[in-house]
Structure 1
Amino acid sequence: MRDDMTNAMVDGFKAFHRTYYVERPDLFDTLVEQGQSPRVMLIGCSDSRVTPTALYGSEPGDIFVVRNVANLVPPAEQDGHLHGTSAAVDFAVGHLEVEHIIVNGHSHCGGIKALLNGAEGKYVGPWVEIARDARADVMREYADASPDEQARALEKASILVSLENLLTFDSVRRRVIRGALQLHGWYFDMEEGALLAYDAGKRQYERLA
């Protein structure tokens, strides 16, 4: 049984079908026959307001995307557990040989607020603890700041944690050293409609667009 929301999604698929299967059938013919070969992997947040294809105007086949709570990357581990984000990184770098990995954070991130406030739950709490060291740094440096300012600082700091964790993957580190892979930290400011990028040389975020 469908409601207004699912009807809208079906209508959206019809528009997608018209664009890519009726008006531009060659695109999916190529993607099916030759497979995917994206140059970019984007690690984004599951937040429904931050959709990579809408933000960046990308088409099918352009970006290899993994989305999770708070756009976090765990350190490389082989402990017998299941690691979805790590598997995606391994596939993107080892098989697809992407040239760029973008960790894309954003303002008003619920996962980061959960980390700040002490997340509860069997899965969310342990997951956001990936950035616990960044939380400690922010709470020390921004001890007198408002909760919103602390959240904003932690949203940006957690991106840097994920960039550091990416380098614990052997395949990532080797390709970065060879100059075959670049890592980027981007931050989408929803209020300003601005995109910021971390400049490692200046140790600060600067506006991209």
Structure 2
Amino acid sequence: MTHLPERLLAGYRNFMAGRYSAESDRYRSLAKDGQSPTTMVIACCDSRAAPETIFDAGPGELFVVRNVANLVPPYAPDGQHHGTSAALEFAVQSLKVSSIVVMGHGRCGGIGAALNPSAEPLSPGDFIGKWMGLVAPAAEALSGNLMTAAERQTALERISIRYQVANLRSFPCVKILEGKGRLTLHGAWFDISTGELWVMNPETGDFERPQLK
């Protein structure tokens, strides 16, 4: 009798025979000396948009926090439970990352829920509905225009990224370090169907394709 799904055990066997075997010295060094990533990525928990895969990152290279629709709640030191805020605090204050990337993606289920707030909740707690309330103002602003449903979805996925970058600046530690030039904030959007990565222009907020040499 196994205590894990067989698919996971098979993947672990491949990991040990492949990547871990090839990078065992690196893993041992990380275990001994600790992690020191320079970049934090705030991404969606969607299984199709894993930052480590998209950016071809090795162990110890990225500090990643994932939640539904890659949201950053505004700074709220109210004594409540704040998982994303805790990860942000650790990345900035302890790991001292030099860049934070908010990465959204196409066909995001959380964004779809925000655009359809009248849908039946998945549970009495309606955790997704309450969580996606963070982007409700932007979703409402898009409800009365002439865009198709697909266009509206993509638009909110990208607009939400701009909102999350703004929310990052509501954290004093982020705002202070950015002002000193010791921390940079970025936005990115990944198209699952084509593999395209679009990067937010920090000056205009527009999303542009980077030049890949």
Normalization by structure 1: what TM-score? 0.92
CA distance in structure 1 between the partners assigned to 2:172 and 2:77 by the alignment: 12
SS of match in other structure, 1:82:
coil
Q: Which residue of 2 aligns with 1:138?
A: 142
Q: Which residue of 1 aligns with 2:26?
A: 27
Q: Which residue of 2 aligns with 1:165?
A: 167
AA matched with 1:82: H
Q: Which residue of 2 aligns with 1:180?
A: 182
Would you say 1:59 and 2:53 are equivalent positions? no
Superposed displacement of residue 193, structure 1: 1.7
The answer (yes or no) to whether the contact 2:46–2:68 under 8 Å persists in 1 is yes
Superposed displacement of residue 21, structure 1: 4.2
The answer (yes or no) to whether the contact 2:177–2:183 under 8 Å persists in 1 is yes
- Segments of 5+ residues of structure 2 without an aligned counterpart are none
Superposed displacement of residue 136, structure 1: 2.8
Higher normalized helix content (fraction of residues)? 1
Q: How many residues align?
A: 206
Residues 4-83 of structure 1: pairs in structure 2 closer than 5 A = 6-83=5-82
Normalization by structure 2: what TM-score? 0.91
CA distance in structure 2 between the partners assigned to 1:38 and 1:114 by the alignment: 33
Cα RMSD for the two superposed structures:
1.8
AA matched with 1:52: P
Distance 1:45 1:37, change over 3 A: same
Would you say 1:128 and 2:132 are equivalent positions? yes
AA matched with 1:24: E
SS of match in other structure, 2:178:
helix
SS of match in other structure, 2:143:
helix
SS of match in other structure, 1:70:
coil
- Segments of 5+ residues of structure 1 without an aligned counterpart are none
AA matched with 1:187: W
SS of match in other structure, 1:76:
coil
CA distance in structure 2 between the partners assigned to 1:81 and 1:7 by the alignment: 38
